[in-house]
A = this chain, B = another copy of it.
Amino acid sequence: MRSVKIYSPATVANLVCGFDVLGMCLNEPNDIMEVKLLEEKKVTIKSKDGYNLPADPAQNTAGAPLLAMLEELKEPAGFEVTIEKHIKPGSGIGSSAASAAGSVVAANHLLGNIFSKEDLVRFAMFGEKVASGVKHADNITPCIYGGITLIRSIFPLDIVSIPAPRLYVTVVHPQIEVRTSDARQILRKEVLLKDAIRQWGNIAGLVAGFIKQDYELIGRSLEDVIIEPVRSILIPGFDEVKKSCKEAGALGGGISGSGPSIFMLSKDEATANEVGKIMQDIYAKIGLPHHVYVTTVNNEGVRIIKN
């Protein structure tokens, strides 16, 4: 029976001023998944970790995308998926996307890469629908494509890879629960035009900063006048983390996805490590369990580690 083992990485969605359209792939942490090709049309999910995720494939973020993929296959085939999750569900660094993207990349590999990356994004969005009720692609896309990605449009799907200079990423996950659906509900349905203008000036600056490799411009553009002021209230210590990390030399950063994780970008490793220490100190002082990752941008996305 043919099988494949993969690393499926964590991702940071939104990137401060790019709510719902920008995302970035990280080198750490990673889920490990093993997918076996079956001869009959079915999907089974096995879990090797302690998380209590649904075993019913239609309700599982790795299973639903595979069911969508099987619908478009002519020959009878199926998949058995074993998940070893290291990206905590609810952390805001793309745990559900890692399951959804990992399963479709692995399955496509076993089928001889008959589907395009865009097809895989389309399938994987069914996993996000199961996880949060919304078919968003801002974690899935960087997870499948690697690097920094823009979803210019979701219907029809229009994906743009954004080249960027070397960036270090420090992420802190303060272990409180922020549900994606709650984080979405507290947003206003209308925003001031003047705020929207400031936001699109910032996202234009951020994209230009990435492609032109202008670190200063990247830093100045990491400003969010619409989502962050509302959502950051749900994250204890947010303002202090952001202020102290920027004072220590981080280019900037903000809420990862819908939180509670916070990410900061740095130009060099020493700063990224220093930023990590600051985050640890702040949450130790608050008395909140937390985990810090110091990593880099992953330009490859989901990676096959064993055929």
Contact = CB atoms under 8 A, between A and B. Distances in A.
A277 B189 CA distance: 43
A196 interface: yes
A153 B188 contact: no
B203 A203 contact: yes
B189 A193 contact: yes
A204 B22 contact: yes
For the complex of A and B, list the 10 residue pairs with the smallest distance between their C-beta atoms, beginning with the closest.
A152-B205, A196-B196, A21-B201, A190-B190, A200-B200, A211-B211, A152-B201, A200-B203, A207-B207, A204-B207
Contact of A204 (B18, B188, B192, B212): B18
B18 A200 contact: yes
Nearest to A20: B197
Contact of A191 (B196, B198, B205): B196
A178 B144 CA distance: 48
Contact of A150 (B153, B163, B191, B205): B205
Contacts of A196: 191, 196, 199-200, 226
Contacts of A75: none
A21 B197 contact: yes
Contacts of A198: 153
A134 to B, nearest CB: 12
A257 B22 CA distance: 28
A153 B221 CA distance: 9
A199 B204 CA distance: 11
A290 to B, nearest CB: 30
B189 A189 contact: no
Contacts of A22: 204
A197 B200 CA distance: 9
B201 A150 contact: yes
Interface string A133-156: 000000000000000001111000
A193 B193 contact: no
A293 interface: no
A115 interface: no
A187 B197 contact: no
A56 to B, nearest CB: 31
Nearest to A163: B212
Nearest to A188: B193
A121 to B, nearest CB: 15
A217 interface: yes
Contacts of A193: 187-191, 226
Interface string A170-187: 000000000000000001
A208 interface: yes
